[in-house]
Amino acid sequence: MENRQTLINIAVIGYGYWGPRIARNFNSVDGCRVAIICDKNPASLQRARKDFPGVEVTSDPQSVLTSPGIDAVAIVTPVWTHFELAEAALQNGKHVFVEKPFTSTSVQAEQLIELAEKKNLQIMVDHTFLFTGAVRRIRQMVDDGTLGKLYYYDSMRVNLGLFQHDVNVIWDLAPHDLAIVDYLTSSEAQCVTASGCAHFNGHEDVGYITVYYSDRMIAHVNVNWLSPVKVRTTLIGGEKKMLVWNDLEADEKLKLYDKGVAINNGQGVYDLLVSYRSGDMWAPKVEQTEALAAETRYFADCISNNERPFNDGRAGLRIVRLLEAAEKSLKSRGVPVDL
Amino acid sequence: MENRQTLINIAVIGYGYWGPRIARNFNSVDGCRVAIICDKNPASLQRARKDFPGVEVTSDPQSVLTSPGIDAVAIVTPVWTHFELAEAALQNGKHVFVEKPFTSTSVQAEQLIELAEKKNLQIMVDHTFLFTGAVRRIRQMVDDGTLGKLYYYDSMRVNLGLFQHDVNVIWDLAPHDLAIVDYLTSSEAQCVTASGCAHFNGHEDVGYITVYYSDRMIAHVNVNWLSPVKVRTTLIGGEKKMLVWNDLEADEKLKLYDKGVAINNGQGVYDLLVSYRSGDMWAPKVEQTEALAAETRYFADCISNNERPFNDGRAGLRIVRLLEAAEKSLKSRGVPVDL
Amino acid sequence: MENRQTLINIAVIGYGYWGPRIARNFNSVDGCRVAIICDKNPASLQRARKDFPGVEVTSDPQSVLTSPGIDAVAIVTPVWTHFELAEAALQNGKHVFVEKPFTSTSVQAEQLIELAEKKNLQIMVDHTFLFTGAVRRIRQMVDDGTLGKLYYYDSMRVNLGLFQHDVNVIWDLAPHDLAIVDYLTSSEAQCVTASGCAHFNGHEDVGYITVYYSDRMIAHVNVNWLSPVKVRTTLIGGEKKMLVWNDLEADEKLKLYDKGVAINNGQGVYDLLVSYRSGDMWAPKVEQTEALAAETRYFADCISNNERPFNDGRAGLRIVRLLEAAEKSLKSRGVPVDL
Amino acid sequence: MENRQTLINIAVIGYGYWGPRIARNFNSVDGCRVAIICDKNPASLQRARKDFPGVEVTSDPQSVLTSPGIDAVAIVTPVWTHFELAEAALQNGKHVFVEKPFTSTSVQAEQLIELAEKKNLQIMVDHTFLFTGAVRRIRQMVDDGTLGKLYYYDSMRVNLGLFQHDVNVIWDLAPHDLAIVDYLTSSEAQCVTASGCAHFNGHEDVGYITVYYSDRMIAHVNVNWLSPVKVRTTLIGGEKKMLVWNDLEADEKLKLYDKGVAINNGQGVYDLLVSYRSGDMWAPKVEQTEALAAETRYFADCISNNERPFNDGRAGLRIVRLLEAAEKSLKSRGVPVDL
């Protein structure tokens, strides 16, 4: 990363649970500074004043979006507000960093992508997990052939709460895994089936998604706001090796198994020949850097170098399309939805 | 259990992986004895001779099924042979103990049930897990109201292999969980959706099943023959308490959490009021008795007392119907199948 | 805690690894403020300026110790400097908060205690663990009789590094456990034996301490700077119940076992009758409050109310005596040292 | 292993907890058979009759020891009986397989060794752990230099009961670890210090042993009959790599860490330069064969080939000397005992 010649002024809209972390990380990026923080909630603004003594705060997003001194806007608000805020930011010539999921609908996502291209501005969707040491290490093991062809990705992402007001558990938790699979595999998502249940008259609090990919790759995501224990465990089966990723482990997040199976079909009905392989396990060291620090730095680099990030609007759109399909399937108790 | 006046003579058909355990357990039941062991494989018969020095062995099932000295037949063979063997046994006046899943089709199961009733004979389907200390303890916590209304049952039952020749992973592993849910809940199964993937041109080796029950209860079963690690973990969410059952733990298989959530809908769009409860965890002592010992003893008791077991043909039929529905849904990539 | 009428001005001497946490916590206590931060290292002072923009910093401890505006001094420096700094602070009428271990020798500790009493000033030794939710919960279970008479306390406190320049692993890590046992039991320490090894020509990096208490209570502490894994596990055996405390667990730090043994001596040589009890396990919820926040608040309260803290100089002295005895025994490869 | 020309007839004396396993394993060894089983307890003999239908049983050890048809005697009785039985067996020309610890005193051990040499008979002491896949794999990593020079061996071997009538917890549990260290290291044991406590007027139920070896190698063994949980964990620190061996893990018993520390002493008091290394973790596959099967086969081979086993009387004597020293130190609360 070069030294940036001009300072990038960032506005942060939304200072609730995640906004303070976004602001703190952007402010730590060399060549960046948080210039305005905006939130409708007076208590949040009060907190922002304490956290960033010299920084302007406001409850009026319009003034932020039209402020000539702002280069980029970080949108850290509920998903149903993303489109309107991002559209106004782009219209006013500002780059956009937006929380996942990108938008509420794929149509909105397409419009923002088109607008950004017309204005030559960058959109980055905050798929934070793609910047963790664990996911980067897994990607490396896909790229260098360690895992071999991927058979399945199976993730369990459950805990107690937090219940969201505006979305169900799938829109809340599944974007993480859908974005990770999108990042890991070159196979194409073909079809989604989803099921789940709402126990409190509102949004689903338990959800299960299966995505069929090309080349017999399958992904499954289990999300749940009603679990007594927190689980963040993913199994990844490859032709050559298999992987367990437990993100709650402090030290050994990834375990790579020299295990597998080879099957040769014989001629008779009972001639299925299966051979099993079982060998060592290996826990590669995973970088401990904070993902959000890397991601905010990358955003600043992309702006400085006028490069499109890999987690751009199109990446965000692919995840929104999967979520739309999952939602549609969920409402019909599993009818598969083609992509 | 009373002292049985007359000895129950058991024939065991099938002496492969599971048959020796069935035979050993039946032979240990007071008032029972294994009288014949039958298998087509000479090596299995050789093993049977060594394990049961005095007992008759044969490779001909017909002679077993028609033998006048046999009171009951334990059928421990592949599922596609169950119907024919069980029908012949019942026709010849013998009680039937049969491996799970009961039959290949629900029509077969119905015919066997009808035949057994006509002949006043007992059928017991070997849903062994229902006799474990863990499942019995969970059932007790359902019955006494400890858990409250059940929200969900979510099970992960994965490991490497053993690949079956004649069925997919759902028919192999899911009967355990489907039978356990059937035993635990009084809600009614309404609809099944399933997904999965076959990576080796044959039967599915990865499968996901969701069963919708009445009263907003939902069950999910994740089965996989391609996992690098063995997992046997079930989450059960109840209105009052939540449970984690890890069957691979030696000592603390069940953990009961005083955790939960209460939601009151307010009036405005944002008035969803959620209150969380988080308290102690409690691991009740679980009986360590061997499940199969209890089950075989119970079969003998049912025969002696002419009582129908709770894991009878009808229980077996309910599970076969779920499996049929899951299979049908799986083939269509998730289209829900009503029951 | 009442509202304090006058502000307590704290000086923090030592702003290395632990100093920033001490300063931050004191500054958050209602009625307290950090007024000066002192460190010999310019980089540390630079960091202090950034962390506490308005606060005076200095590299000269003398100016701090004689400053008329300072009410209390927090000494967060290597142990060999504690005595000199604490003595000067007390001589100048300042209360003292001092890192563990209190002093390098028991003679020094006695002198400071005497001086503080003469001057009517408070000394608090930073045995932080006594303010954790876990230790407070264990103490409660001792006090209310849940555990019954204590049989043993057995702690493993090992990890890789950090090697200290001035003390061995026993002076570095064992004070935690020795202070915890001192806090939990009313039995009296009678005798210490210790062993260990220095692998790098310097201070011992592996150490084992046994303390014999009255009433057949025994404590054992295993400390190690050369362990590949971090372990913070303590077993506590009581007459009625037994406890496992794993401080690295996020949620279930304490596990209480309804297990035990009762032995009645019969008459013959083989008449030892042992009965075992094995029942439920119970993980009580443990308060998640930060220990240092509670401790610094308590220090301010003790000053305001002119009350002696329970973790006062005498408590610090008891631990220094145990460390001195352990050191002496260690040098002789285990010869027991009476207290 | 060659085919043995003549059958080795084994007598098993002692058919309590461990005897049946010894008998079963010897009977499975090619070229061996259990010819007599002896126990004073009628219930044990009854059990032996059931387990070995055709085998002679007796309550009279003398008849066994003088029986001309017996080639070797397996002594599976309390330690205080070992000497008398082994001596008689050797006098009568029989090889001896004897439970650990070898004898109650080192003098007894020396006498048996001398007698066996005079008679050209083999003694094997049942240090079963030396035949486990885990210990053999660790030994391999010592031999091939993977671990580098050993710094320490630190074992925790605790659980609830079983209380022994005739020995304390050190004689019961510590022989395992002392034999393992003896097998792993070429350093020489120099000195032992031990501490512990008896809570029930009898034998110590909690014990801690430190053994100082040459070359700054140290071993520590923590044994406890009063622990609420079973722990079988050993840390091994080496100059190049470090190891955690958790014997209760089903699959990943050994974890090898690429972690370590290098220290260069500088010139000033603060010039201790420490560099830490932290890399991957690796769990080598461990053979799952039953240790006792390998050991009994090895005994038969040693007899057939007239070779002295590595776990011979001298190995047993080394462990008895360590136990004697530990016992002496324990009684004096830690006074070190030279070897």
Tell me the ipTM for this assembly.
Answer: 0.94
Per-residue confidence (pLDDT) for residue B269, from 0 to 100: 47
Q: What is the pLDDT of residue D326?
A: 98
Q: Quick check: is B3 in a domain? A: no
pLDDT of res. C269: 47
Same domain, C60 and C77: yes
Instruction: Tell me if B295 is assigned to some domain.
Output: no
Specify the 3-state DSSP secondary structure of B35: strand
CA distances from D40 to B157, D46, D68, D77, D103 (A): 48, 11, 21, 10, 20
Q: Cα(first)–Cα(last) distance of chain A, in Å?
A: 38
Q: Which of A68, A83, A73 has its CA nearest to residue A38? A: A73
The reply to whether A304 falls in a domain is no
Say if residue A137 is in the same domain as residue A271: yes
The pLDDT, as a whole number, for residue A6 is: 81
Spell out which residues of chain C touch residue A53, defining contact as CB-CB under 8 Å. 53
User: Side by side, which strands form the sheet with D72-75?
Assistant: D56-58, D32-38, D8-13, D72-75, D95-99, D123-126
Report, as an integer, the average pLDDT of B222-229.
96
Instruction: Tell me which of D70, D92, D121 is where a domain ends.
Output: D121
Residues A280 and A202 in one domain: yes
Chains touching D (at least 3 CB pairs under 8 A) are A, B, C
Q: Is B279 on the interface with C (CB under 8 A)?
A: yes
**Closest listed residue to residue C160, CA positions, set A315, D278, D271:** D278
Phi, psi dihedral angles at D264 (to 5 degrees) = -115, 125
Least reliable range by pLDDT among A116-125, A284-293, D264-273, D286-295: D264-273
Whether B334 sits inside 8 A of A228 (CB atoms) is: no
D162 upstream amide cis, omega within 30 of 0: yes
User: In Å, what is the CA distance from C1 to each residue of C22, C70, C294, C301, C303?
Assistant: 20, 22, 11, 7, 12
Amino acid letter at C111? Q
**Three-state SS across B49-100?**
HHHCCCCEEECCHHHHHHCCCCCEEEECCCHHHHHHHHHHHHHCCCEEEEEC
Set of chain B residues whose Cβ sits within 8 Å of the Cβ of A152: 197, 206, 224, 226
Number of domains in chain D: 2
Does any CB of chain A come closer than 8 Å to the CB of residue D278? Answer: yes
Supply the pLDDT for residue C4. 57
Residues of B in contact with C286 (CB under 8 A): none
Q: What is the pLDDT of residue C97?
A: 98
D152 near D239, Cβ under 8 Å? no
Interface test with D, best of C226, C271, C275 (most D CBs within 10 A): C226
Nearest CA distance, B245 vs chain C (angstrom): 14
Residue A275, SS3 per DSSP: strand
Cα-to-chain-centroid distance, residue C39: 23
* D273 belongs to a structural domain: yes
* Closest-CA residue to D192 (of D219, D154, D171): D219
Best CA proximity match to C243, nearest among C232, C253, C230 = C253
Whether this model's pTM surpasses 0.80: yes
CA proximity to C200, closest of D270, B81, D239, B102 = D239
Tell me the mean pLDDT in the region D172-185: 98
* Whether D167 and D81 share a structural domain: no
Tokens of D65: 């020891």
Top mean-pLDDT range of B38-42, B49-53, D164-168 = B38-42
CATH number at residue C261: 3.30.360.10
pLDDT confidence bin for B288, thresholds 50/70/90: confident
Q: Is residue B315 part of a domain?
A: no
Nearest to D3, CA basis, from D32, D43, D34, D36:
D32
Could you tell me which chain C residue has the CA closest to the CA of D163? Answer: C274
Q: Which residue of A has its CA nearest to D282?
A: A282
Nearest beta carbon to residue B226 from set A151, A208, A269: A151
Using CB atoms, pick whichever of C278, C279, C283 lies closest to residue B281: C283
Is the model more confident about A165 or about C187? C187
Low pLDDT (below 50) residues in chain A? 1-2, 268-271
CA–CA dist D199, C213 (Å, integer)? 12
- A280 → closest Cβ in D278, D279, D282: D282
High-pLDDT (> 90) share of chain B, % = 85
Token pair for B240? 């009052």
- Using an 8 Å CB-CB cutoff, list chain C residues near D263: 163, 200, 202
pLDDT of the residue at A266: 54
Distance from CA of B193 to the nearest CA of A (A): 6
pLDDT reported for residue C2: 47
Same domain, C114 and C155: no
* Chain B touched by C252 (CB under 8 Å): yes
> Which residues on chain D are in Cβ contact (under 8 Å) with B251?
229
Partners of residue A250 in chain C, C-beta under 8 Å: 248
Q: Do B276 and B259 fall into the same domain? A: yes
Q: Are B160 and B55 members of one domain?
A: no
pLDDT in tens, C109-123: 999 999 999 999 999
Segments forming the whole domain that contains residue D59: 8-121
By CB neighbour count within 10 A (0-12 exposed, 13-18 middle, 19+ buried), where does A193 fall? buried
Q: Please tell me the predicted confidence (pLDDT) of residue A269.
A: 47
Helix (H, G, I), strand (E, B) or coil at A4: coil
State which amino acid sits at residue B24. Answer: R
Q: Which of B19, B24, B25 is nearest to B39 (CA)?
A: B19
For residues D40 and D102, membership in a common domain is answered with yes
Q: Among C252, C278, C279, select the one facing B281 at the smallest CB separation.
A: C252
Q: State the pLDDT at residue D5.
A: 62
In a domain, C315, yes or no: no
Q: Is A144 on the interface with D (CB under 8 A)?
A: no
pLDDT over threshold 80, residue B173: yes
B339 lies within 8 A of chain A by CB:
no
Strand order in the sheet with A72-75: A56-58, A32-38, A8-13, A72-75, A95-99, A123-126
- The verdict on A208 touching B (C-beta cutoff 8 Å) is yes
Q: Domain for residue C110, yes or no?
A: yes
Contact C328, C337 (CB under 8 A): yes
pLDDT at position C96: 98
Among C93, C121, C149, which residue terminates a domain? C121
HSE-CB of C87 using CA atoms within 13 angstroms: 12
User: Please, are residues B55 and B34 in contact by the beta-carbon 8 Å criterion?
Assistant: yes
Interface residue D197 vs chain C (CB under 8 A): yes
The residue type at B54: G
Q: How many CB pairs under 8 A join A and B?
A: 175
Q: What average pLDDT does range C38-54 have in this prediction?
A: 90
State the Cα–Cα distance between residues A232 and A155, nearest whole angstrom. 7
**pLDDT grade, residue C265 (50/70/90)?**
low
Hunting for tokens 């076959």 — which residue is that?
B198
Of the pLDDT bands very low, low, confident and very high (cuts 50, 70, 90), residue D166 is confident
Range D326-335 average pLDDT = 98
| D248 interaction partners in chain B (CB closer than 8 Å) | 250
Q: What is the per-residue pLDDT for D204? A: 95
| D261 and D138 within one domain | yes
Please answer yes or no on whether B218 and A200 come within 8 Å at the CB atom. Answer: no
Residues of chain B with Cβ-Cβ distance to A228 below 8 Å are: 235, 237, 242-244, 255, 257, 259
Strands C189-197 and C337-338: antiparallel
Choosing among D157, D166, D199, D256, which should be mutated to test the C contact, i.e. which has the most C CBs within 10 A?
D199
Q: Residue A225 contacts by C-beta under 8 Å, 6 or more apart in sequence?
A: A158, A159, A160, A161, A162, A163, A169, A172, A205, A206, B261
Supply the CATH number for residue B85's domain.
3.40.50.720
Contact C226 D242 (CB under 8 A): yes
- Mean per-residue pLDDT, D256-263: 86
Say whether residue C197 is in contact with chain D using an 8 A CB cutoff.
Answer: yes
Average pLDDT of chain B to the nearest whole number: 93
Distance CA D293, CA D131 (A): 9
Tell me if A157 is assigned to some domain.
Answer: yes
What is the rounded distance in angstroms from the CA atom of residue B328 to the CA atom of residue D123? 66
What residue in A sits closest to D287 (Cα-Cα)?
A279
CB contact under 8 A, A282 and D285: no
Chains that touch C (3 or more CB pairs under 8 A): A, B, D
Domain boundary among D75, D102, D121: D121
Please tell me if residue D53 touches chain B, with a CB cutoff of 8 Å.
yes
Beta carbons of A229 and B210 less than 8 Å apart? no
**Do A111 and A159 fall into the same domain?**
no
| Min Cα separation A207/chain D (Å) | 32
Looking at the structure, do residues B98 and B140 belong to the same domain, yes or no? no
Q: Which of A165, A206, A217 sits opposite B152 (nearest CB)?
A: A206
Instruction: Classify strands C56-58 and D123-126 as parallel, antiparallel or unpaired.
Output: unpaired
Q: What percent of chain B has pLDDT over 70?
A: 95
Tell whether B169 is within 8 A of chain A (Cβ).
Answer: no
> Which residues numbered 317-336 in B keep a CB inside 8 Å of some CB on C?
none
pLDDT at residue D40, as a whole number:
95
CA closest to C277 among chain D residues: D160
Q: Are residues C110 and C188 in the same domain?
A: no
Per mean pLDDT, which range of A64-78, B160-174, C27-41, C234-248 is the poorest? B160-174
Q: What is the pLDDT of residue D91?
A: 98
